[in-house]
Amino acid sequence: MGWGGGCHSALLDIQKQLRAQISNFTFNLGFSGKFYHTGTVEEDEGDDLLLKYVDEFWWFPHMWSHMQPHLFHNESSLLEQMVLNKEFALDHNIPVDMGYAVAPHHSGVYPVHLQLYEAWRRVWNIRVTSTEEYPHLKPARYRKGFVHNSIMVLPRQTCGLFTHTIYYKEYPGGPKELDKSIHGGELFLTLLLNPISIFMTHLSNYGNDRLGLYTFVHLASFLRSWTNLKLHTLPPLQLAHKYFQLFPEQRNPLWQNPCDDKRHKDIWSKEKTCDRLPKFMVIGPQKTGTTALYLFLLMHPSISSNFPSPKTYEEVQFFNTNNYHKGIDWYMEFFPVPSNVSTDFLFEKSANYFPSEESPRRGAALLPKAKIITLLINPADRAYSWYQHQRAHEDHAALRFTFYDVISARPGAPAELRSLQSRCLIPGLYSTHLDRWLTHYPANQVMIIDGHQLRTDPAAVMDEVQKFLGVTPHFNYSQALTFDPQKGFWCQLLEGGKTKCLGKSKGRKYPPMDPEARAFLSRYYREHNVELSKLLHRLGQPLPSWLREELQKITFASMSRG
């Protein structure tokens, strides 16, 4: 069945023998039905013997023809292959309800091939799989699990046996290398340091010199002699539940760029490209001028953005929401294939990335080289603009309560008011959020723009942005933008002298903030503004004028107190 030769009752005998040291020890055998009875006479007899004892083992489906799933772009051809293998299993009384499968050569599991997960669920109701590739093959001690599309992916360990290591005497480096690994070396340490270990070897290691049996029998007895470890075997589904009970934090995956790891690139569909990823991101926060910056960027001939999302006001909102769990294929679908990878700049703007706990870590894992642009205005003005925005969207609490009510709400206040309050105020804790981004991205990849300056002198800001990005050709924004007195903002200058301004929802007309609220917010953000000034100082960046004004208020306040 595609597992090579020499397999016979030794497998069963050793299984029995191992059960004395590992409770419930059971071999879990993978099958690719297409290769059933395609070996030598002896191998075919081995196939029959295994099937004769079908109930003694656990079984999991490989692919029907051992093809790598990532080579199938089309889900239905993947389904067909799986159905063939399932029919084979049913014909030969192989159980089909273990919920575990393994992909040939790790293909499709990580980097995730969405089609594989979908087909596995549909044909086999697969709930568990394992791989050596997440997050990377090496170092082995960093391997982890994750859950995707309700399939639990467990880390698989390496035991040092491969298709080419079938003879004891010919073991790479000599047989003592294998023995060293078992007797206190790498394999022993793998078992010692991982509460759950999954190993997979090829059936050729159970024929020939039977190194598979040799290795595990010796490993078990070495462990028994030198440790107090109790070894158990669990069926895959129970094992997976146990794993994520032990390591609940591993449930959420952290996606990386498949092209940054040669092995991952090799098992990444040729129909997919890593070029459909942004070179930079505008991360917000909301109401600081992000839409203006976004539209000005798009005026540049070498810069393009994602296709709009119909769901989230055009933004993709991948890193900060559950969209992240849809995987990078989903994300990349939002981007065009650039016509010239080296000169074209793809970007996306999602203004909620800035205050999000998860976004910096997730961003840096997938886009470690990306540049990050954030806009800051006085957090008090930001809060007020955001409140006006909620009123314009007829948010119930925003219509019911005054701005002062919102910002000054106390812990016992109605839940909708408290929720509005935190969404209003938290993004303005700039230094906390920036610190998080700077933990994951080097400072020279992060640009902090003064949003007030973008509003009053956009051409100067856009010159700086172009320099920071290193984008060519230089685009002359002072010719392309014009101040529109009616709008009260800078707008795009069209041919024939007409202007194209941002929509009604940007640059709204509303009464100025009342002084009481401003004083409250100056106090509220005082510490954070001080921290922000220290942070900008550390980065060698000038303080925006609004920040200097806020710091001066503190000096005045302490002078008048003194």
User: Rounded to the nearest whole angstrom, what is the least distance from the CB of residue 381 to ligand A3P in the complex?
Assistant: 8
Choice between 6 and 451, CB closer to ligand A3P = 451
DSSP character string of 482-520: EEETTTTEEEEEPGGG-EE---TTSS---PPPPHHHHHH
Known catalytic residue: 311?
no
Residue 522's CB is within 10 A of a number of other CB atoms, namely: 18
* Contact criterion met (CB below 8 Å) for 232 and 22: yes
User: Rounded to the nearest whole angstrom, what is the least distance from the CB of residue 351 to ligand A3P in the complex?
Assistant: 5
Phi and psi for 181 in degrees, rounded to 5?
Answer: -60, -40
Task: Give the residue ranges of the annotated binding site for 3'-phosphoadenylyl sulfate.
Answer: 385, 490, 506-510
Distance between terminal CA atoms of the chain?
Answer: 87
Please tell me which residue in 272, 279, 287, 349 is annotated as part of the active site. Answer: 287
Residue in 260, 274, 272, 359 with CA at minimum distance from that of residue 315: 359
Name the residues that contact ligand A3P, by CB under 6 A.
Answer: 286-292, 351, 385, 388, 454-455, 489-490, 502, 506-508
**Using CA atoms, how far apart are residues 269 and 424, in angstroms rounded to an integer?**
43
* Contact criterion met (CB below 8 Å) for 404 and 520: yes
R_g of the chain computed on alpha carbons = 30
Choice between 165 and 388, CB closer to ligand A3P = 388
User: Rounded to the nearest whole angstrom, what is the least distance from the CB of residue 510 to ligand A3P in the complex?
Assistant: 7
Angle at 262 between CA 258 and CA 265, to 5 degrees: 40
Choice between 142 and 510, CB closer to ligand A3P = 510
Residue 359's CB is within 10 A of a number of other CB atoms, namely: 27
Residue 208's CB is within 10 A of a number of other CB atoms, namely: 16
Residue 526's CB is within 10 A of a number of other CB atoms, namely: 15
Choice between 207 and 285, CB closer to ligand A3P = 285
Choice between 201 and 317, CB closer to ligand A3P = 317
Task: Give the residue ranges of the annotated binding site.
Answer: 385, 490, 506-510
Choice between 292 and 316, CB closer to ligand A3P = 292
User: Rounded to the nearest whole angstrom, what is the least distance from the CB of residue 532 to ligand A3P in the complex?
Assistant: 18
Categorise residue 36: left if φ over 0, alpha if ψ from -120 to 50, beta otherwise: beta
User: Rounded to the nearest whole angstrom, what is the least distance from the CB of residue 451 to ligand A3P in the complex?
Assistant: 7
**Using CA atoms, how far apart are residues 15 and 28, in angstroms rounded to an integer?**
11
List 131's β-bridge partners, or say none.
155
Residues sharing a CB contact under 8 Å with residue 163, sequence separation 6 or more, in sequence order: 4, 202, 204
Task: Give the rounded distance of the alpha carbon of 150 from its chain centre.
Answer: 15
User: Rounded to the nearest whole angstrom, what is the least distance from the CB of residue 197 to ligand A3P in the complex?
Assistant: 50
Residues with catalytic roles: 287
